Structure 1
């Protein structure tokens, strides 16, 4: 819904959104309470009462309670602003800059977008008051390379005083693992064609006159692992990445940032293991959590799942800065922001008015996922996000004669697309949902045109400080917590290659990860590098601020935000830490007996049972050399989440408890509790010493185990020192656990949802019982299945009427699989019955199948079960079918001709598909 100027009503009455133009005197007014919290409604009511009593003349534009607690208003008399700011509910006001009050930024300057984020994360404060800038700390960036000639990044390479002193190009411009498998290395890692790594590097270390990265004085190593867009799928193979990781290790980087993900989604993934080893060698490893939040739980990717790696979730920036699009319609003229172009080489620039149209494709859809029946020569198409790739949308529009595409998001946020294809030569950008709807409304009244130049605008973001919708969820398949922490990653304006415009606004956990990497550098500088990797991790995690769940009245689950939003001022100021910084309780079985085993640190062997009352031991350190510390503890319950509805069906968007928008009180037994068992409270810790604390965490007893809840919360340790200042601080330690027996979870979707089934290749209809089929070069069978939970081992076999294994299918034995995402192209997996079977699980001994009657058998290992234990598998059998003849002899080389690609390529984050 677009922000608009309402028709005049009573002075302070809430009003309906209308037009999109914005006039001087428009402001955001933020209230003190957290969004979606009980105090929201009270603060809104109190605000209007006090405004009326003070005689403030204003018009309400929009009311925000879910993502932002406050209102947007027009003040006809701006002299009333000071009076408005004095109202008891008002925390701050921001000038509205979304339309006519936009800020134009010349190409030689940079927006304060990132600087504004620094005000909310303590970065500005440590820069100005402590003088920290990362001096003497080496940070490695494993990414697409960097345009080191950018003036805000130094404009130099390996010269004295230059920030860039290390690096290597492992791939060359033409490399892509999907199409050009042989990289062409080069000592020079300069990137002038992509921009992702330049953007990431700017977040860490830019040092322009109006713009500063988190740690602008670090020494940088740049390790390029991606080629130029347009060469294929934009991927990099694991071995190339491992080379880069090794080089960064050889160069003795103190911190390494990895803004990419993918792989298997398991901590056992090779890149995760390699990252863990770098941690063991004393390097702070920071990685993006992933951009698959719309696919729900278990979407965090490797290498961020490695033990000790700090994988980072994304929070929305408090400002949106981007190049603008000027819209001219019958009802209003206004400006909107847009994403970076899906292909960085094809910029969204229209110097003269260009007509905008919003047609339906040949199927009648507004998504633009099919050819168009008419021509749209010289026009820009407005289409809705969804149902196909951005490349498809751009290609169909181009075929119809369009000169550009605007995709309006299907969620409120802005996001970064990818439309790179050698066959697409027109620009594509994403705009916000509200802005797309506003243009559609204008089109109903008449012609709409746009112009788009290099003018940059900055606008306040109502979702600022909230979790980004795209940010991936944890846990990992073995219930280790993920993500570890969150940082600004949504709508970040940073450096970009000079050939591609110099600056760009991107969104992704790719942007949040370097933010935390820069923070780690500041900690290392503050401690003169006399601090362990584990201590850096604790300082970052335990000083973070957990945020309220926008879908509930409780705090957001640690499986969504980790320890919360990072705060570097708190990190460097901490006088105490606690070990471990996170508690993974594993699953509960509903018993009343206490237990002391579990997953306190990543990669311990999980217990077979953990009771509903779990005891954990933590060590609390007082780092003050002269003052005693007193400690108490508060339990902060977070939302419980589940991938399943009450009827057992799979839920892509996790269900949460407490429920959203419910005014009913939350029963105490539906939320976890925690108490300190020993020593007695208050705990007193001598200067420079430590105290072991025993905490009992009690799982919710009022939630049904059948609903498969993942519960969690935060232990807040309230600390007070007896120094003359009376210093007080707090630490947060998140905990999570599974309610029920995790080892009994089904992995395959239930048959009632239509999967698994066997069909003729190319058909979506399941074979009838006792169907007769022929296998030859044109006729094959396909096995369709869906994994609703990750599995360590999946077996697909043909069995005879006695349930005896005849052989494994192609791709019939797979280890460390993630679950199927429920996007258009990832709802289920396939395996082909093509005439070749295998004797062994390594799929190295092929033989020809013989005519006969068969069933397909699928064995999926349940969570945390032993692969050698036959009882640990969920087993499915297809209906019986008869193969009458097999006339094509297949070989190992071509037997998996068109099965799903289950390889280990890693796709970089930042450009959400």
Structure 2
């Protein structure tokens, strides 16, 4: 056998994020990106169709009870986690936990069971900060508590049940809060639209509603007026939840921050929510470690429906790849049919590359939200005597008394490792100085501690030229009084002041609100570096839209904090949805209509600051939201995004329907603009297999577009159609092998025939310049583990082609990964004599590769392949595995090979002496699942068992 080239300890560490399924013999397996699951736990959907119920003479509720009884009678002892009985015509079932060894296949065979899913774990997206520790938020100023008129008890705690006095609508007029200016939310606030009468539920990890900016209390009469805790502090996705009526939590900052983005009340800092007068609630679905699960989220969705929620914000997810591939996606679609708008973060995993979509953001009717960098930064002014003020980024102003003298730890324009070591003994007394340190060379906390050790109390860390913004800095254990960041250009300006007069620059730090128009000159207004790529494996638009998500100031336990992520962009859009629903209440806009209005009124996102080239639709979706344009848009487009599909299924022509809801006729004219190409595999799928983690962008390829008619007049209240023929750009065979995605926008100019006023609209489109069926599914590279995949190993030894004997007390492990999603995956024991010509050689790892066996005759049909027993056959559609960062870290499949398998609740042990192989089959995307030729496959070397 060949040696495993990666140390086993390193392998285990790489896969540590994955959950495990326990097996009958006590061994465990890690099961890929889609199988970050709750062990031995499943969601059963019961067949509650009218025909089936009539045939069996049952009501839906009796059908569920009878099916659960059938599970027990089949020998599968279980406990019920959640029952889902409120929408039997759409989804009827329960989540259960069973004993070790019970498989999906076992449960699927029980009478009354329609479908089975493992219960997947969900995780709140991690804040994509740079290298920074001591990440604690600065406390809110005491003046905020006094200003908000919240009652404080003798113990200093804010009352949880006392009604709060909320600011009037006039408090929000004239706001210059920077995310709102960027998206024109402030214009609706100026007009008095604040989300009145719209009910919003935040699904997250609990919140600190005692924060005065969130009203200071919970329940009837409070700003946070409804909610529920489904899980409790200790819930980790695997254990039993401990629900309560109170969603209060301070063990994480995420839920409080998200809630404030939607509903922060007017305050002295100028930080306000997008819909501060909406009816706001919080459903806690994640414990202190940020994990949730399918059945918890579905239970919260159904409660939201029962409590007449209008908008749901979900800033958590799990990889799915496909549409309607999870219970949360299915229930989200149902909620949309009932008028509930589901807004979800698209994810912070851009480094995973293209085709990396999450649930529940990926859906036909839900809205998946990506993130842009803010155009203006959150900043307060440091006043420099006799000179222009210098803005610094901090969640709250320093508000320090007295005056401070400026000091630089290095007067070089580009110092290396500034303050990365102890400051020299010649350093002056820093007690009453503002110490400026340049970024680079070490963590921010190292610089802070070195300055603090030298007696410094106030530090400004200056950015380096061309670098992204510095995340929120906190004093932590450094001994500092205050720390913040400044832009590169402001650091240069301060250094000029300092060099001119080292001891003559006096700074003060007054209180006051955020100052407007502090430009983010490096990446402001472009797609955030962390925001997920689309599309889905079904070639559906993902994300739907983007909104500001970087450097967002909002509430945290005890005060204000700055965070970044699609978790921050999604609630901004959820609040914007509430504004339009309130302002246009009489129209009863459906979720797909409202999403379409925002998509078709969105702003183009450039690929760089000041560039005229448009970012690929795979990142910007339909563009960045413009709430004022959405408010004014009285033309509805169907479809709101044009999915051209791949070259094997190219859709031509496209019929675009326009509904004119204006009270006058409108003449529409059509044109097109083009966005950048982007490729899935930089070096071609034939060589690369795994999608690039930094995919190449190139200049746009022109899609030749013709419109019939080119101009169209539609009377008030009527509809019209235009036929659009798009000739896909030509690609060379080498380019096709890179799986290029081309995209752009259909531009529509609508002009009133009465007053000649006009509004512009944009309909995004995209297509794939290759065939999805050709996308590699099984990873055959050595990138992830060191040896080439797939393989079987005993310890660190990889099986070669010659037959070996595996001791049951020292089981082998089957290692493989999915480089792309698949709609069917099967891993089976088969006879060693099986005639099957696999697409991947049995042995790929020895230094001198052994030749394949003689060509085998593969059965034409998938079902005709004889198998001995199933190791793994998931009923869901597994997405591709995480490679770089994913929500659970690196993932692969590691299946113990000990000669046992379980079917129908019975564990079978393969006899000693017989020779077997493992057959892995993964269906190629869009291929016919009935045909053997539709699968990528790997047939292992032969082996037998002993012991």
Q: TM-score, normalised by structure 2?
A: 0.63
Alignment of 1:215 onto 2:270: no
The residue that corresponds to 2:679 in the other structure is: 642
Q: Which residue of 2 aligns with 1:755?
A: 788
User: 1:618·1:693 contact (CA, 8 Å) conserved in 2?
Assistant: yes
CA distance in 2, matches of 1:284, 1:338: 33
Q: CA deviation at 1:108?
A: 4.1
Q: How far did residue 432 of structure 1 move?
A: 9.2
Identify the match of residue 606 of structure 2 among 526, 544, 548.
548
2:669 is aligned to 632
CA distance in structure 1 between the partners assigned to 2:484 and 2:294 by the alignment: 34
Within-5 A mapping of 1:852-863: 852-863=914-925
Distance 1:831 1:121, change over 3 A: same
Flag the 1:856–1:318 CA change in 2: closer, same or farther, 3 A.
Answer: same
Say if 2:805 and 2:943, in contact at 8 Å, map to a contact too. yes
Task: Please state how far the C-alpha of 1:577 moved relative to its aligned partner.
Answer: 1.9
Paired with 2:804 and 2:485, the residues of 1 have a C-alpha distance of: 53
Shift of residue 219 of structure 1?
0.7
Is contact 2:682–2:692 with CA below 8 Å preserved after alignment? Answer: no
Residue of structure 1 in register with 2:243 after alignment: 185
Match of 2:536 in 1: 476
Within-5 A mapping of 1:528-547? 528-533=585-590, 534-547=592-605
| 1:652 and 2:681 aligned | no
Q: Is the Cα contact below 8 Å between 2:546 and 2:623 reproduced in 1?
A: yes
Please list the CA deviations of residues 186-239 of structure 1 after superposition, one character each: whole Å capped at 9, or x if unmatched. Answer: 1111223222121111111112232321111101121111222xxxx4201211
1:143 aligns with 2:184: no
Select the residue among 872, 877, 883 that pairs with 2:939: 877
* 1:204 corresponds to: 262
Instruction: Map 1:114-263; keep pairs closer than 5 Å.
Output: 115-128=177-190, 130-160=191-221, 162-178=222-238, 181-209=239-267, 210-228=270-288, 233-263=289-319
| CA displacement, residues 634-689 of structure 1 (integer Å, 9 cap, x when unaligned) | 11112222221244314423534525xxxxxx7xxx33232213xx3321111221
Residue 800 in structure 1 maps to residue 861 in structure 2: no
- Secondary structure of 2:571's counterpart equals helix
| Aligned mates of 2:326, 2:911 — CA distance in 1 | 33
Aligned-pair distance for 1:433?
13
| 1:838 counterpart = 2:871 | no
Instruction: Mark the runs of 5 or more structure 1 residues left unpaired by the alignment.
Output: 1-102, 326-333, 341-355, 357-366, 368-379, 391-405, 443-452, 590-608, 660-665, 888-913
Q: What's 1:610 paired with?
A: 650
Aligned to 2:20: none
Secondary structure in structure 2 of the residue aligned to 1:294:
helix
Q: Secondary structure at the match of 1:245?
A: helix
Deviations 1:250-289 (CA, angstroms, capped at 9, x unpaired)? 1101111111111534322111111111101011111111
Q: Which of 772, 780, 803 is 2:804 aligned to?
A: 772
Which residue number corresponds to residue 690 of structure 1? Answer: 719
* Residues 549 and 566, structure 2, Cα contact 8 Å, conserved in 1: yes
User: Whole-Å Cα distance in 2 between the matches of residues 188 and 104 of structure 1?
Assistant: 24
Which whole-Å CA distance do the structure 2 matches of 1:224 and 1:257 have between them? 12
Cα distance change, pair 193–655 in 1 and its aligned pair in 2 (3 A): closer
Which residue in the other structure is 1:619 paired with? 657
Alignment correspondent of 2:320: 264
- Which residue is 1:317 aligned to? 374
- 1:324 and 1:338 in contact (8 A); partners too: no
Deviation at 1:849, TM superposition (A): 5.8
SS at match of 1:134: coil
Quick one: distance in 1 between partners of 2:311 and 2:585? 14
**Cα shift at 1:581:** 0.5
**Retained in 1: the 8 A contact 2:815–2:895?**
no
Partner of 1:68 in structure 2? none
Instruction: State yes or no: 1:303 paired with 2:360.
Output: yes
- 1:425-446 CA distances to partner (integer Å, 9 max, x unpaired)? 999x9999999xx9xxx9xxxx
The aligned residue for residue 814 of structure 2 is 783
* Corresponding position of 1:588: 647
Once the 2 structures are TM-superposed, how far is the Cα of residue 706 of structure 1 from its aligned partner? 2.4
2:635 to 550, 568, 576: 576
Aligned residue in 2 for 1:72: none
Deviation string, structure 1 residues 712-735 (Cα, Å, up to 9, x no partner): 2111111111222x2111111111
Give me the whole-angstrom Cα distance separating, in 1, the residues matched to 2:805 and 2:471: 47
1:792 to 1:432, Cα distance in 2 relative to 1, 3 A: farther
Equivalent residues in 2 for 1:372-521 (5 A)?
A: 412-413=467-468, 460-462=519-521, 463-498=523-558, 502-521=559-578
The CA RMSD over aligned residues, in Å, is 4.8
Between the aligned partners of 1:728 and 1:259, the Cα distance in structure 2 is 36
User: Retained in 2: the 8 A contact 1:796–1:813?
Assistant: no
Name which of 710, 728, 744 aligns with 2:774: 744
Contact 1:297 1:654 in 2 (8 A): no
Asked if structure 1 preserves the Cα contact closer than 8 Å seen for 2:751 and 2:759, the reply is: yes
Distance 1:147 1:339, change over 3 A: closer
Task: State how far apart, in whole Å, the 2-side matches of 1:293 and 1:843 are.
Answer: 41
Distance 1:644 1:123 in 2: 39
Structure 1 position 752, deviation (Å): 7.5
Change in 2 beyond 3 A, CA 1:736/1:410? farther
Structure 2 residue matching 1:185: 3-state secondary structure: coil
Query: What CA distance in whole angstroms lies between the structure 2 residues aligned with 1:418 and 1:706?
Result: 45
- The answer to whether the Cα contact below 8 Å between 1:318 and 1:464 also exists between their aligned partners in 2 is yes
Q: Is the 8 A contact 1:490 1:511 kept in 2?
A: yes
State the structure with more CA Rg. 2
Cα 1:108–1:770 shift into 2, 3 Å: farther
Contact 2:643-2:766 within 8 A present in 1 as well: yes
Cα 1:255–1:296 shift into 2, 3 Å: same
SS at match of 1:633: strand
Distance in 2, Cα, partners of 1:692 & 1:416 = 48
Superposition deviation, residue 469 in structure 1: 0.9
Asked whether 1:734 is paired with 2:764, we answer yes
CA gap 1:550/1:855 in 2 versus in 1, 3 angstroms: farther
Does the 8 Å contact 2:261/2:572 carry over to 1? yes
- 8 Å contact kept, 1:152–1:207: yes
- In the TM superposition, residue 410 of structure 1 has moved relative to its aligned partner by 15
Matches of 2:637 and 2:672, distance apart in 1: 16
Task: Note closer, same or farther for the CA distance 1:849–1:809 as it changes in structure 2 (3 Å cut).
Answer: farther
Summarize the Cα distance change of 1:201–1:790 in structure 2 as closer, same or farther, 3 Å threshold.
same
Shift in Å, 1:155: 2.0
Q: Is the 8 A contact 1:760 1:781 kept in 2?
A: yes
- Cα 1:792–1:490 shift into 2, 3 Å: same
**Is contact 1:147–1:497 with CA below 8 Å preserved after alignment?**
yes
CA distance in 1, matches of 2:141, 2:395: 18
| Larger CA deviation: 200-209 vs 865-874 | 865-874
- Does structure 2 conserve the Cα–Cα contact (< 8 Å) formed by 1:300 and 1:474? yes
Measure, in 1, the Cα distance between the counterparts of 2:917 and 2:487: 52
Could you tell me how far apart the structure 2 residues matched to 1:433 and 1:644 are? 38
Tell me by how many angstroms 1:793 deviates: 1.6
What is the rounded CA distance, in whole Å, between the counterparts of 1:843 and 1:700 in structure 2?
54
